[in-house]
Amino acid sequence: MGLRGIDTLGSLEGLVVGVRLDLNTPLKDGEITDDGRVHAALPTLRELAARGAKMVVMSHLGRPDGKPDEKYSLAAVAKRLQELWSGSVKAVSQVSGAEVQSALSEVAAGDIVLVENLRFDARETSKDTEERRAFAEELAAPLDCVVSDGFGVVHRPQASVVELVEAKPSSAGLLIEAEVKVLEALRSNPERPYTVVLGGSKVSDKLGVIDALLPVVDKLVIGGGMVFTLLQAQGHATGSSLLEADQIETVKGYLSRASELGVDIVLPTDIVMAESFAADAPSTVLPIDQLESGPAGKNAIGLDIGPDSAQHFAEIIASSRTVFWNGPMGVFEFDAFAHGTRAVAAALTEVAGLSVVGGGDSAAAVRRLGFDDDQFGHISTGGGASLEFLEGKTLPGLKVLGW
């Protein structure tokens, strides 16, 4: 079981290579606010250029509902990619057909033709295999081979992720290879102590990875909105904080199983409780057994872990040899409630072994809070894909590449 690498494609001199990337970047007023995924794509593009290929780059952006929508155009991505690329980046307004063929005739080896958002065609995400295959054949028409390097979508059975890879000689790109290598190290024989830090809003989003990792980890550190369901499972009142009441009994089962396995589940001891969900909301730090004792009482909302918890979490992380983190500790988009997330990120930069930021909001948080990518062992480009990989699920975009 191993991914097909670029070397398996043979000589690429003079060939047209389709490159499926994940350039799903956040935009504000038509400008990219986090270009991490663009930078992550560059090593594979440079490798293909060095081998003499022309590249047709494909990606999705957002959820345009299967039809063209200007606010989901890849125009901003094309602009940023051209700023970072030494050759030509020619953006076209279609995803396939004559315009793509014409653009290819105008560019040289080492240049890029960037097609429009794949999800402007409903067949990209269709549940009908034949519809996806027909779209993939259109995408494949001008291509000699395909390199799949959009790790953030390998858990999705989509036309450009599965059927396009089947339609032509294909391989994984350097990013997917790197992601798989790092995540496999987390899943099997990690250096110890091994700590997993989970946050984000919903505990239901993390149950699969908790179930898979409990037999593997030494400590499971939990913050973010999901923590209030666990605190309620322990009998604590949590005001008007985010709660998944239907998951309380399930959570109790995981707490019991962790105890049986000797896994230390670490929860906050204090919470920043705010009077409303707002950047400037008045807030109070309260111990977990008194979360309704502040001015807002039962209407209080937990928006961050407290300072004592942040320090404790940071000490656990910094003393670990392997750490995987997925999900912020609070509403990091509001400066007043970013302290816990910042403390976790800073602690990860001090890990002597392998530190992995698990994509999604965690990756966005470290960049927003001023950290550099190279301060961490690895920043994953796929939050959902990372979690599903660690859960041991079969990911269709990896299976089709030989994994």
From the annotation, which residues make up the binding site?
22-24, 37, 60-63, 119, 156, 206, 302, 333, 359-362
CB atoms within 10 A of CB 287: 15
Distance CA 86, CA 161 (A): 27
- Catalytic annotation, pick one of 79, 90, 187, 202: 202
The annotated binding site for ATP is made up of 206, 302, 333, 359-362
From the candidates 223, 225, 340, 360, give the one annotated as an active-site residue: 360
Report residue 224 as tokens.
């973010």
> Annotated catalytic residue: which of 208, 353, 384, 402?
384
The DSSP code sequence of 337-392 is G-HHHHHHHHHHTT-SSEEEE-SHHHHHHHHHTT--GGGSSEE-S-HHHHHHHHTT
Task: List, as residue ranges, the binding site for (2R)-3-phosphoglycerate.
Answer: 37, 119, 156
Quote the tokens at residue 275: 């009077």
Spatial CB neighbours of 1, under 8 Å, sequence gap ≥ 6: 402, 403
Q: What 3-state class would DSSP assign to 223?
A: coil
Annotated catalytic, 181?
Answer: no
Give DSSP secondary structure letters for 87-154: S-EEE-SSSSSHHHHHHHHH--TT-EEEPPPGGGSGGGG-S-HHHHHHHHHHHHTT-SEEEE--GGGT
| Three-point CA angle 50, 55, 59, nearest 5° | 125
Terminal alpha carbon distance of the chain: 5
Return d(Cα 340, Cα 332) in angstroms, integer: 8
Is 37 part of the annotated catalytic residue set? yes
Helix (H) or strand (E) holding 240: none
Please say if 110 is a catalytic residue: no
User: Catalytic: which of 4, 20, 37, 54?
Assistant: 37
Q: Closest Cα partner for 299 from 281, 311, 279? A: 281
Catalytic residues: 37, 202, 360, 384
